[in-house]
């Protein structure tokens, strides 16, 4: 048996017999690499990381508005259209949905708290010019939710939605 040396090993690597083994190994590792590349692309796309880190920033730069503002405007228009319906239940629902939109905006802005009331307490009149009115509007929403006999007139619903709209404008959401 021959001694194993670096020269013998290099002769083995360049021998015609070993080329077939290396070709199979190359294909095997290429397939494995492609599988892992596809897995990485799938995980990055499905996790939303790319959208959060890149797409949102790019959108904000070119539109001069916060990311998601179009979605908020669409929701807000849907809420305002509820006032055109004759049902008091629709008017109540419009106030509840406006409150939910505000809650979502404040959560996205990073305000902490279990409820919207907790998040509103963290704001100052410098941040929201109509903060006192907004607290009253939130109380109206709470009355609607917790008191099934609460009456809401169309005029009161319009005024409440105007308060929310002013808040959205101050927060540059619409």
Torsion of CA 41, 42, 46, 50, to 10 degrees: 0
Q: Is the pTM of this model over 0.85?
A: no
For residue 61, pLDDT over 90 is answered with no
For residue 11, pLDDT over 70 is answered with yes
Distances (CA, A) of 83 to 40, 56, 80, 92: 48, 32, 6, 9
What's the pLDDT at 174?
78
User: Which residues, other chains included, contact 147 with Cβ-Cβ below 8 Å and sequence gap of 6+?
Assistant: none
Please give the average per-residue pLDDT across 43-60, as a whole number: 72
pLDDT level of residue 30 (50, 70, 90 thresholds):
very high
């Amino acid at each position: 048996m021959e001694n194993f040396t670096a020269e013998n090993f290099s002769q083995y690597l360049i021998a015609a017999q070993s080329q077939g083994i290396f070709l199979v190994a190359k294909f095997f590792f290429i397939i494995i690499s492609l599988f892992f590349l596809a897995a990485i692309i799938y995980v990055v796309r499905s996790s939303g990381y790319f959208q959060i880190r890149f797409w949102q920033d790019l959108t904000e730069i070119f539109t001069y508005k916060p990311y998601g503002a179009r979605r908020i405007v669409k929701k807000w228009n849907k809420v305002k259209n509820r006032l055109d319906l004759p049902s008091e239940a629709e008017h109540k629902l419009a106030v509840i949905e406006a409150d939910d939109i505000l809650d979502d905006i404040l959560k996205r802005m990073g305000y902490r708290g279990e409820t919207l009331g907790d998040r509103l307490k963290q704001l100052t009149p410098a941040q929201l010019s109509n903060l006192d009115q907004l607290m009253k509007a939130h109380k109206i929403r709470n009355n609607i939710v917790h008191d099934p006999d609460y009456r809401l007139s169309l005029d009161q619903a319009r005024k409440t939605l105007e308060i929310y709209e002013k808040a959205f404008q101050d927060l540059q959401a619409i």
